[in-house]
Amino acid sequence: MRYLKRIKCAILAELVLFAAAGILWGIQIVNGGVAVRRDQAVEVGVFEEKTYIKWVDFNVSYEALCEAYKWDTESWKEAAENKDAVHVDWIELLAYAGARYGGEFPSKAVSEITKTAKKLTEKETTMEELTKGMEYYAYYLEAYQAVLSGYVGEYEIQKADGDGKVKWQKCYGLKAFSPVAKGFEYTDYDDFGASRSYGYARPHLGHDMMGQTGTPIIAIESGYVEAIGWNQYGGWRLGIRSFDGKRYYYYAHLRQNFPYFKELEEGSVVTAGQVIGYMGHTGYSKKENVNNIDVTHLHWGLQLIFDESQKEGNNEIWVDCYSLTRFLNKNRSETVKDEETKEWHRVYEMKDPAVEAYGKKMPHIKPEDAGT
């Protein structure tokens, strides 16, 4: 009997420990004594009297991105033709589904996006009514806007007509591009978080796209070059910041000897869809211009920045780009090679209002600095 009592006591003690561990996992204490729940994909903290998002798990599925995008673009077209029609915002749809399902996107979350969009376009409700009292909707909206706000909107792009003439056309839709040029094959898989050992043990905070050396690498979104040059981990790499400052795109392992589009330098403005560099396998060396990566590939990463203190150090937020890469494959930039300079250029130019707006804020930036 004493032996059985000891076993019962031991089991009870373990249950208490598990319960305590669960409470500690569910709540994190941050500076200022503010408790923040950890059972959501968005975590908010208070630092030096400033409240901002501390962490984001971007788990939005490819299917959810496509469904929300479809409703956004189709309803925009309806609203352009009929002033009484309702245009639904794809990021709001995703944030609503994210808040309802704790940041996860099972098939029922995609169905939720469809049902919600129908209710909104048929004027059965509004997003304000739907989200009233939703504790985490505002956080998901801010987080998903930080990831996606530069991807969809109005723009102008050159297109060839039936006679082979190139004309400018005003469009609304996906104005962000795949980081690999059209016509160039690549392979990939969801490798976010996989272990890395060079230098020190660390997770893989980006997405690898394996292809051929020299493949043109494309600017996913318009922005400006914040970093260019050698990094012992990323080799020849580029860092491009979105104009709103929320997104930092990291393109790494670029080609030996000829890594970048030659006109690029720190501060250069780039337009989504333009060639910015070439795929290679440089890196894993303190010495510059060394091919120490076994497989030719592009590593691209997306860092979110809600406060500049998060740019470098222990507070960095990098998101899983696998679903985004699949989604961006819908829009690939067609390129052509200049045999004299050996540079690749986009075939169809694009005018992004974000570039024009940035130019007005930064008058020293010339239009031609946007590149080709």
Q: Is the pTM of this model over 0.85?
A: yes
State residue 204's pLDDT score.
Answer: 84
pLDDT tens per residue, the chain (372 residues)?
Answer: 443 344 344 434 443 333 433 333 333 323 333 333 446 888 887 666 678 899 999 999 999 999 999 999 999 999 999 999 999 999 999 999 999 999 999 999 999 999 999 999 999 999 999 999 999 999 999 999 999 999 999 999 999 988 889 999 999 999 999 999 999 999 999 988 887 767 677 788 899 999 999 999 999 999 999 999 999 999 999 999 999 999 999 999 999 999 999 999 999 999 999 999 999 999 999 999 999 999 999 999 999 999 998 998 888 999 999 999 999 999 999 999 999 999 999 999 999 999 999 988 876 554 444 444
Exposure b/e, 303-320, CB count within 10 A at least 16 = b: bbbbeeebeeeeeebbbb
Short-list 220, 280, 261, CA closest to 344 = 261
Residues across the chain: 372
CA distance 328 to 174: 8
Q: What angle do CA 65, 219, 61 make, to 5 degrees?
A: 15
Beta bridge partners of 44: 53
CA distance 101 to 114: 15
pLDDT, one tens digit per residue, over 256-305 is: 999 999 999 999 999 999 999 999 999 999 999 999 999 999 999 999 99
Output the CA torsion sign for 95, 97, 102, 106: negative
Ordered structural domains, the chain, with CATH:
62-153 (no CATH), 175-370 (2.70.70.10)
Q: Which long-range contacts (CB under 8 A, 24 or more apart) does 104-109 make?
A: 104/41, 104/59, 105/59, 105/60, 105/61, 105/63, 105/64, 107/63, 109/61, 109/64
Short-list 47, 246, 242, CA closest to 144 = 246
The tokens describing 252, both together, are 């790494």
